[in-house]
Structure 1
C-alpha cells in the first residue's frame, strides 16, 4: 500500500510537471507493476544464473542476429544445464526473486509444456510443483502461471498433456510461440477454443519479426486477448485501430526487440506509435537472462531516450495491472 500511494503521488506530480516526473529509476522500481511477458526458465539476471549454474556463457549478454542466434545459445549452454525437475524449479525460483526485486507485483510467467519431461512425464507432480511456487511467494507477488506451447514441440505430447494441464486451474493463460508464420497454427485451434471455454487468457507470439497482417490474422484466428510482442502492427494504421477497437493488449519487450534486431535502436521503437493509436500496451522482460533489462529499467530507458513521455510511462505501468 505504501508503494501504491507513493506511485500515485508521483503520477499526480507528472501531470503538473512532465519534465521532472518519473525520471529516477528507483521511483519506477517502487511503483507496483506487472511483468506480462516472461519466460520463467530464462527470466533471471545473468549474475543470478551464473552463480547457480557455474557455467559462464561467452561474450554474454550481447546483441544477437535474430532468434536463430539466440536459440543456438540456448541449445549450447542453457538447455544442457537444465536436466532435472530440481533445475527447473531453481530457474523459475530465480526468475520470481528477480521480479520481486524489481517491484513486480503481478507476474504472468510462462512455463513451457516441455518441462513435463523433466518431471518424468508426471503431470500431477508438475502441477503440484507449479502450485507450490505460487503458494511459496503468495505474500510477496501474485504469480499467474502461463502454459507455454511451442509450435515445434511434439504434437502428440501436447495433445496428451495440455488438456489436463489447462483443466487443472493452475494455469491462468496459454501462449503459443515459435516461428511467426501461419503454417501449422490450425493444429492449435482446439486448445484456444478450450481455453475460451475455461476462461483462460489467450495469447500468442507474433509481430516481433512478422508484419501487421500476421498480427491481425493471429488475433482473428485464435480470438486472442493479448499479443506477445505485436510491434509489427505499427506498420499499418488499420491494424493498430483493429487492436485498439478489440481492446487487445500487446505485451511488448523493447530491449528484446533491440538486442535481437527487430528494431534498429530503442529510439526507433514503435511503442509510442502504438500508444498514440489507442492500443493497450504493457512492458515485459521476455528473457531477462538474455536481454538484461527489468520492466522498471525498460520504462525508465524509454522515458530517458524521449521515446515516450512520463504520462505514457504511467499508462504502461497501469496497463499490465489490468486483467
Structure 2
C-alpha cells in the first residue's frame, strides 16, 4: 500500500484529490451528515502550518462537491506520535471554532491511553465530541479504560467489548456509542466474517452501535454497502438496520 497509494496521496495535489473524492463518495451514497477531517500533523505537512488555509480548503471542497451535506469537521490524533508534538500541533486547532469532534487512531498499543488525558481535557473544554479508536485489537477492559480516562462520548470500533457481558452492560448503561466498520474488521482478519461479526451481540445487549465506512479506497466500504452486506448476511432485519441508522442520526441531532 505504501508503494502504490501513500506515495501519491502524500502530496498537496494528491491530498486534494482524496478530499474531493471523500465528499463525492458521501454525496453519491446519500450521506446526510459527514464527519471527516485532518490529522493535527497534516496542518504543518500539507498547509505549512496555516490553519486558516486548511479550514478553507475543506470548506471549499465541501461547497464545491456537496453543500447539501451537513459537514462536521473532525480533528485527528495519531497515537504513535509523542505527546509534546501532539500538544504543539493541536494548538492552532484549539484556537478556532470550526471543529466538531476529535479522534485518536493508529496502533492501539503504541502508548498508554492515559497519556492523552491532557489533550482530551482541552478538547472537552472546546465542546468537541470525544472519540477514540480502541477495542479493535485490544481487550474489553481497554475499551472501558479508554472511555473512563478520556471521558469518551463514542468509541471507534470497540468490538472487543463483546468478550465481557459486564462491560457491554456498562456501555449500554452509560450510553456509549460504538461506531463499527465491519468490512475492514473482516479484511484485517479481526473477525471471521460478516455473518459472525460481534455487532449482532453488541446490539442485542442494548449497546448503541452505528455502521460506518473505513478507508474506502482500500476496503470498498461505502456506508450503503455495509448496510447491504449485513442485510444479505441475515445479521439484521431491515427494521433493525433502520433503527441503527436512526441511532447515528439522533446522535448528531437529527430526527428522521
Compute the TM-score of the two structures, normalised by the length of structure 2.
Answer: 0.91
> 2:31 maps to what in 1?
104
**Cα displacement string for residues 148-178 of structure 1 (whole angstroms, at most 9, x for unaligned residues):** 1001135444212212213312221000112
User: Using a 3 Å threshold, how does the CA distance of structure 1 residues 132 and 187 change in structure 2: closer, same or farther?
Assistant: farther
Displacement, 1:187? Answer: 2.9
> 1:79 maps to what in 2?
6
> 2:41 maps to what in 1?
114
User: Using a 3 Å threshold, how does the CA distance of structure 1 residues 182 and 279 change in structure 2: closer, same or farther?
Assistant: farther
Displacement, 1:138? Answer: 5.8
> 1:236 maps to what in 2?
164
Matches within 5 A, 1:1-323: 73=1, 75-116=2-43, 117-137=45-65, 139-181=67-109, 183-322=111-250, 323=252
Q: CA–CA distance in 2 between the matches of 1:134 and 1:98?
A: 12
- Contact 2:80–2:111, Cα closer than 8 Å, also in 1: no
Q: Which has the higher contact order (CA 8 A, sep 6+)?
A: 1
Displacement, 1:182? Answer: 7.7
Q: CA–CA distance in 2 between the matches of 1:191 and 1:154?
A: 12
Q: How many residue pairs get matched? A: 250
Q: CA–CA distance in 2 between the matches of 1:110 and 1:263?
A: 27
The two structures, once aligned, show a CA RMSD in angstroms of: 1.7
User: Using a 3 Å threshold, how does the CA distance of structure 1 residues 305 and 83 change in structure 2: closer, same or farther?
Assistant: closer
Structure 1: segments with no counterpart, 5+ residues: 1-72
Compute the TM-score of the two structures, normalised by the length of structure 1.
Answer: 0.73
- Contact 1:131–1:170, Cα closer than 8 Å, also in 2: no
Secondary structure in 2 matching 1:143:
strand
Q: CA–CA distance in 1 between the matches of 2:59 and 2:129?
A: 18
